[in-house]
Amino acid sequence: MIDPQPDRAALAAAVADLTARREASVSLPLPAGADPSFLATRRYIPLVRLLVLGAGAECTALVKLARAQGIAVEWREAGNGLALDKIPADLEADRWTAVLLLFHDHEWEHALLKWALDTPAFYIGAQGGAPARVERIERLRAAG
């Protein structure tokens, strides 16, 4: 659809909402005599975001791959932005965020996994084999 006289304020508000990672919508002008069921509002959602928490070559490769695909990615590295058993005050995940924990030393996961499970993130994943998975599940059950 081409709108020769778009509502610039509405477009600016939609861009501001998307930048703030909120849903946005823009009303579309209905052509004269258009069926009332015609699309009158265009809805937008923020881009998918990947929040990588971890350390090592896997993180470096994942961040590079995500960026190459145009995925917004944030990496918080163990020891450089992350401290053991502490959640950074500015760490956020919304419902358009996937959280991935990539630690070889799984003691880094405890507080971060608990934090991630309390967010609306659409995906939460953690690296590790079967023994790590069993330990992680037991720890989560013990924590309620």
Question: Could you tell me the pTM of the whole model?
Answer: 0.82
Beta bridge partners of 24: 44
Asked if pLDDT for residue 18 goes beyond 90, the answer is yes
d(CA 32, CA 104): 62
Percent of the chain with pLDDT over 70: 99
Q: Is the dihedral of CA 25, 29, 30, 31 positive or negative?
A: negative
* Least confident span in 19-28, 54-63, 83-92: 83-92
Asked if pLDDT for residue 116 goes beyond 90, the answer is yes
pLDDT at 30 (0 to 100): 78
